[in-house]
Amino acid sequence: MKSKDKRDTKAVVPEPAASATPPPPAAPRRRVMLVEDHPILRLGLAQLIGRESDLEICGEAGNPAEAMTLLDKIVPDLLLTDMNMPGRSGMEFVRDIRARFPDLAILILSMNGEDLHAERALKAGAQGYIMKGAGGEELMVAIRKVLGGGIYLSPAITEKVVKSLGRPAKAGSQPGIADLTDREFEVFRLIGQGMTTREIAGELGLSPKTVDVHRGHIKDKLKLPDSTALIHYATRWMETEQNAFPPQG
């Protein structure tokens, strides 16, 4: 009698392979809006920032008016803006942004490396200030620090601010440039650049009469006898500041 084959005839079902752990979702890229009146520089900044895996450009504007219109349509995480643009004082622009968008991070990118500009920008509501002569790597550091809730100042400005804080004020010293209002300071800076009253009026969107009023207040605060003395003082001050902060390569 033949023995039956007692092999198990049940189909062998392979065990399911262990499912791979799905990769964590990529963090959303932080949105940066550019405000810069020079198209070529704006294009370069957009390309530089757009190469970063965690950043993206969500909008561009060529002046404060365009920026305010655009901000009504999009909500960036950070506003990267020039300080000196036609039509509106940079400080006033920052104050306007801060009043309307209290949670928006603001980083100033400027040719003016003076500690007075940086201090005024921070007081106006910006979280950072970096000079245009800085390299791309430093700009990324500044953007990420401000996005992270920190304050960024370039090394040169930080050093000068620290030194000024450690220097005791002289008793009886005359009021200085720090006592000027933001608008007076803008007028003073443009006087130092050699601009006439009419040119300053066009640059800041003011009437020549209003500029003359500011000039009078500046002369009074700086204890200067006349317009000639004001022009000389402003010119020397601008030369001193430019020497203190030479362009960075």
Provide the residue ranges of all domains of the chain, joining segments of one domain with +: 30-163, 169-244
What pLDDT digit, counting tens, does each position of 8-42 carry?
555 555 565 555 566 556 678 899 999 999 999 99
The pLDDT, as a whole number, for residue 205 is 82
Average per-residue pLDDT for the chain: 82
The residue ranking higher by pLDDT, 80 or 89, is: 80
CATH topology of domain 30-163: Rossmann fold (3.40.50)
Angle at 126 between CA 123 and CA 94, to 5 degrees: 90
Instruction: Give me the pLDDT at residue 20, please.
Output: 59
Which listed CATH number (2.60.40.420, 3.40.190.10, 3.40.50.300, 1.10.10.10) goes with 169-244? 1.10.10.10
pLDDT at 249: 39
Please give the Cα distance from 73 to 95 (Å, whole number): 19
The DSSP output letter for 85 is B
Q: How far is CA 52 from CA 23, 55, 67, 78, 244, in A?
A: 20, 5, 23, 15, 32
Taking only the tens place, the pLDDT of each residue in 130-152 is 988 888 999 999 999 999 999 99
With 50 as the cut, is the pLDDT of residue 178 above it?
Answer: yes
Predicted pLDDT of residue 24: 59
